[in-house]
Structure 1
Amino acid sequence: MRLLVVGGCGLVGSMVLPHLAATHGIRVLDLAEPAAPVSGVDYHAGDLHDVDLVATLAAGVDSLVFMAMGPAADWGSPANARAHLDVAVPGLYATLTGVHRAGVRHLVYTSSMSVYRYPLEGIEPAPGERRVDDGRLGHYPDESVPPDGDDFYGLAKRLGEEVCRTATVARGMDAICLRLCFPTADDSWPKDGTAMQRAISTSARDVAAAIEAALARRGTGFDVYSISGDGDERTMSLAKAKRELGWAPRDNTATA
């Protein structure tokens, strides 16, 4: 396919672009220059709020892959939260306006399982115990449960999903939202960190495979899928992704 990847130079984009570029023609729009350009990828520096620029770059494109997000620096500060919300709502809305003008009717949005509260919050300590991350794994709800994440990042991703949902109604687009879990470069997977972070981290090649599966999902309107390296489903159900996308992680954290 011919893809417009918005945010292709960011954390997730830079991991998965080499995999996607192996089989697709890719045009990237990003504020940043690529740290390690992928051969054959057509890079463009620019602002995703620029509807005319987006429409120009989307000409002849089969699908939009939206991976843009706010910066990591000063994570959680008021300015940082504002940047994430700006990308997820007015930025995404402007991008969808531009691609729709160009005739694009399909998009893949990289959301996050952060749309739900961290599941360890649901494990109550015994009387007299402090709440600590002691390696116990909570369990995320499945896709049938409305999101309830209330931190700035989870809220930004929740609102981004709603912008995508609106595009399916108002503009007749197909929008596939992938709720990713700690995308990690292939050579450093699984992710270092807490027991839960390690358990749900997803290799870059599995994230790319999920995007590939979502690109083939057409005529369904709006939908969401949990995507994780937790192939044994200790922390969440991957049944919907397996059933409807034909996707399951090849790199399983349970056996890593």
Structure 2
Amino acid sequence: MTGPRGGDRGAGRVLVTGGSGAIGAATATALHRAGVEVSTLDVSAAGPAPHIRHVRCDVRDLDGMIEALAGADAVVHCGGLASDRPGREHDTFSVNVAGTCTLLQAAVRAGVHRVVYMSSINALGCVGGGRPEYLPVDDDHPHRPASAYQISKHLAEEACRQFAGQHGLTTICLRPCYVTHPDAGPVSARPAGPGPADLFAYLDIRDLTAAVQAALTAPLTGFHAFLLAAPEPWNGADPARVAADYYPDTPWRHPASSLVDCRRAGNELGWTARHQRVAAP
């Protein structure tokens, strides 16, 4: 990418928030292996690896975030709560929405021009307790978030859109589906995987970190959002049959290998999912 501190296209120096979490740690490790000068930030005192610089800070701490972003060319924002917390919805909004707004403000103050935000298909509200308006779901699907977590992802994306328009940031929101990990242990001990409520859609963590690297270097400006999913349903069935069996009243717009249309990520990021499911459904 063309960063604020030079014209070389590349990731440059990158801060990964949420670096102690599963996705943040995998992202930081993948960037480090790719030769990126990466550091991490988390409320946890422990980082993903001894050889990766780690900062202990809450993403809602504006002064701390500005200091952590000093000298960075980009930030990958994985910090946040990963699911609903019944009875603690205020925590979800505080960390996921206020935290993202604080990070964006800190990026403006620190002169960081590119923010890659780890959003979710949940921002659309068409999974979990929601229903898609059509299939395959694409990045233009109307937002109908219902739960606190879904609303927080939607609002964080809107903050990214606003800061891109008002401050000239490049904000890229990645919308992965159910994330799987190849080193999650024996198949028998793993979660059952995504079902009908999740469109049987999933993404291998290795493909997610590849999407992050693509988002850091793609020649894009302004606000963008990209759905990310593997090229087949988790249950291995034909997508049209899955749609007919589980979503009989949902319009089926065009044939696809998945119930989630990721062509925009392919066209604009040059990204393709390469890993199939790692656990039997």
Provide the rounded CA distance (Å) in 2 between the counterparts of 1:233 and 1:86.
Answer: 37
1:29 aligns with 2:41: yes
User: 1:100-119 CA distances to partner (integer Å, 9 max, x unpaired)?
Assistant: 11110101001000122228
Instruction: Give the alignment partner of residue 66 of structure 1, picking from 47, 69, 77.
Output: 77
> What residue identity is the alignment partner of 1:90?
A
Partners of 1:139 and 1:234 within 8 A in 2: no
Corresponding residue of 1:169:
165
Corresponding residue of 1:221:
222
Partners of 1:175 and 1:221 within 8 A in 2: yes
Residues 198 and 187 of structure 1: CA distance in aligned 2, closer, same or farther (over 3 Å): farther
Number of residue pairs the alignment of both structures matches: 238
Paired residue secondary structure (1:78): coil
Partners of 1:230 and 1:254 within 8 A in 2: no
Q: What TM-score, normalized to structure 2?
A: 0.76
Partners of 2:77 and 2:118 within 8 A in 1: yes
> What residue identity is the alignment partner of 1:28?
T
1:159 aligns with 2:160: no
> What residue identity is the alignment partner of 2:176?
L
Residues 89 and 105 of structure 1: CA distance in aligned 2, closer, same or farther (over 3 Å): same
Residues 191 and 229 of structure 1: CA distance in aligned 2, closer, same or farther (over 3 Å): farther
Provide the rounded CA distance (Å) in 2 between the counterparts of 1:255 and 1:192.
Answer: 8
Partners of 2:136 and 2:259 within 8 A in 1: yes
Corresponding residue of 2:193:
193
Q: How much does 1:255 deviate?
A: 11
Q: Sequence identity of aligned pairs in percent?
A: 27
Corresponding residue of 1:77:
86
Q: After the TM superposition, which residues 112-131 of structure 1 pair with which residues of structure 2 at under 5 Å, given as runs?
A: 112-116=120-124, 117-118=126-127, 122=131
Q: How much does 1:236 deviate?
A: 1.0
Corresponding residue of 2:272:
248
Q: How much does 1:15 deviate?
A: 3.0
> What residue identity is the alignment partner of 1:173?
L
User: 1:152-185 CA distances to partner (integer Å, 9 max, x unpaired)?
Assistant: 1111100000010111012110000000112222
Corresponding residue of 1:99:
107
Residues 56 and 173 of structure 1: CA distance in aligned 2, closer, same or farther (over 3 Å): same
> What residue identity is the alignment partner of 2:261?
S
> What residue identity is the alignment partner of 2:162?
T
Listed as ranges, the gaps of 5+ residues in structure 2 are 1-11, 233-255
User: 1:117-152 CA distances to partner (integer Å, 9 max, x unpaired)?
Assistant: 2288548xxxxxxxxxxxxxx945211223112111
Partners of 2:28 and 2:48 within 8 A in 1: no
Instruction: Give the alignment partner of residue 146 of structure 1, picking from 142, 149, 174.
Output: 142
Instruction: Give the alignment partner of residue 97 of structure 2, picking from 72, 75, 89.
Output: 89
Provide the rounded CA distance (Å) in 1 between the counterparts of 2:101 and 2:219.
Answer: 21
Residues 248 and 71 of structure 1: CA distance in aligned 2, closer, same or farther (over 3 Å): closer
Corresponding residue of 1:134:
none
Instruction: Give the alignment partner of residue 179 of structure 2, picking from 183, 187, 192.
Output: 183
Provide the rounded CA distance (Å) in 1 between the counterparts of 2:166 and 2:129.
Answer: 37
Moved more, 95-104 or 245-254: 245-254
Provide the rounded CA distance (Å) in 1 between the counterparts of 2:144 and 2:102.
Answer: 25
Instruction: Give the alignment partner of residue 42 of structure 1, picking from 49, 53, 60.
Output: 53
> What residue identity is the alignment partner of 1:147?
H
1:111 aligns with 2:119: yes
Q: What TM-score, normalized to structure 1?
A: 0.83
1:211 aligns with 2:235: no
Q: How much does 1:228 deviate?
A: 1.1
Moved more, 158-167 or 192-201: 192-201
Instruction: Give the alignment partner of residue 55 of structure 1, picking from 61, 66, 78.
Output: 66
